[in-house]
Amino acid sequence: MHPYDHQPPQAFWRKTVSAKAWGELDFKPATKFKLTPALKIATAGSCFAQHMANRLQSFGLSHWVVEQAPTGVSPARARELQYGVFSARYANVYTVRQLRQLVEFAFGLRPDDSPVLTEEDRLFDGLRPRIQPGGYETLADLRADRAWHLAQVRRLFTECDVFVFTLGLTEAWVEQGSGIVFPVCPGTAAGEFDPARHGFVNFEYPEILADLEWVREFVAGVNPGMRWIVTVSPVPLVATATKDPVIVASSYSKAVLRAVAGRFADAHEGVEYFPSFEIISSAQSFGQYLEGDLREVSPRGVNHVMRQFAGAFVEGGGGAVGEARVDIAGLAAAAAQVECEELLNARP
């Protein structure tokens, strides 16, 4: 007898990966907790996280949108203003440091002197440069919108039951002095790049894990019952600011984030890891879920991820999700709606 004799079938490559079709593999046989319709489930993260947000309701779960569009704003306009894309209008939160500073801003742990970008008399929130298409007319407008947003973020972390966070990038740009992290490099989505003010950083495992632990501990202080589901975006970098080729930089980035997510989940009873990254990016998938650019995830791939998600976290597997006919046109349309500022890094 040896320890492997007691391992379940999923522990053996030959019995599972070699023996089953990719779509039949169970990537998450057990979870520490389940999701139910009564739970307030909040979402944040990189652009891949938008798929999570989009699909939760189809499993009978509640995607808790704490920052709602004002009365009188049409659904199309609300979408343009990114209401409901995530639980609040923070747009894509690519790095864990961004998440940490969002919490710090929301709870008044740092003054809201966030950077403002300008372009032709219009003002842009440096931390959400595309949240208000065309920018703001006045600084007062920008600050008012931001103050309301941060109040909603505060409410989100105070009241939500489950926070689904998708880790996206390790690379980021920071404002020298303040250390504030931008979601995208200034000059891409709005404003101008200033090499004297804007510096590049490629966050490393220890500081990413420390940031994530800090957020968990802080939020536990205001909302002890909040649980986490962390996942890593399988979408590679659009562009890297390192000296490495983008595919090498992507591998590094995803490997670090995957390691952080795993360590974070292992360390806490209230934290789960969900393997979006493995479902899409493993070589054994033969790249079947990649779009023509070999970067974007196809609607079919998203569907696989979310079917696994529902099977793992929703009692009964989320109803008919697994058997439901895939509305390719609908999924494609939804995918086309995904806001990804990172794409601007590769803008010609």
Q: Which is nearer to other proteins, 106 or 302 (CB)?
A: 106
Please report how many Cα atoms fall inside a 13 Å half-sphere around the Cα of residue 157, on the Cβ side. Answer: 23
Tell me the per-residue interface mask from 81 to 100 with other proteins, x by CB under 8 A, - otherwise: x-------------------
How far apart (Å, rounded) are the C-alpha atoms in residues 61 and 282?
Answer: 28
Closest approach of other proteins to the CB of residue 146, in Å:
9
How far apart (Å, rounded) are the C-alpha atoms in residues 7 and 345?
Answer: 45
Tell me the per-residue interface mask from 38 to 77 with other proteins, x by CB under 8 A, - otherwise: ------------------------------x-xxxxx--x
Q: Which is nearer to other proteins, 7 or 138 (CB)?
A: 138
Q: Quick check: 151 binds other proteins (CB under 8 A)?
A: yes
Q: Which is nearer to other proteins, 17 or 140 (CB)?
A: 140
Q: Which of 137, 194, 217, 291 binds other proteins (CB under 8 A)?
A: 137
Q: Quick check: 112 binds other proteins (CB under 8 A)?
A: no
Q: Where are the alpha helices (DSSP H) in 107-245?
A: 139-159, 205-222
Helix (H, G, I), strand (E, B) or coil at 274: strand
Q: Which is nearer to other proteins, 127 or 172 (CB)?
A: 127
Could you tell me which stretch among 51-59, 136-144, 278-286, 311-319 binds other proteins (CB under 8 A)? 136-144
Q: Which of 11, 109, 140, 248 binds other proteins (CB under 8 A)?
A: 140
Please report how many Cα atoms fall inside a 13 Å half-sphere around the Cα of residue 315, on the Cβ side. Answer: 6
Closest approach of other proteins to the CB of residue 244, in Å:
42
How far apart (Å, rounded) are the C-alpha atoms in residues 221 and 108?
Answer: 15
Q: Which is nearer to other proteins, 17 or 139 (CB)?
A: 139
Could you give the angle at which helices 205-222 and 139-159 cross, rounded to 10 degrees?
A: 80
Q: Which helix (H) or strand (E) holds 255?
A: helix 246-267
Q: Quick check: 148 binds other proteins (CB under 8 A)?
A: yes
How far apart (Å, rounded) are the C-alpha atoms in residues 79 and 116?
Answer: 23
φ, ψ at 80 (rounded to 5°): -60, -35
Asked if residues 237 and 121 have their Cβ atoms less than 8 Å apart, the reply is no
Q: Which amino acid is at 286?
A: F
Q: Which is nearer to other proteins, 18 or 71 (CB)?
A: 71
Maximum Cα–Cα distance across the chain: 74
Q: Which is nearer to other proteins, 123 or 172 (CB)?
A: 123
Give the total of residues touching other proteins (CB under 8 A): 19
Closest approach of other proteins to the CB of residue 155, in Å:
12
Q: Residue 80: name the closest of 336, 337, 306, 344 by CA.
A: 337
The contact set with other proteins (CB under 8 A) reads 68, 70-74, 77, 81, 132, 136-138, 140-141, 144-145, 147-148, 151
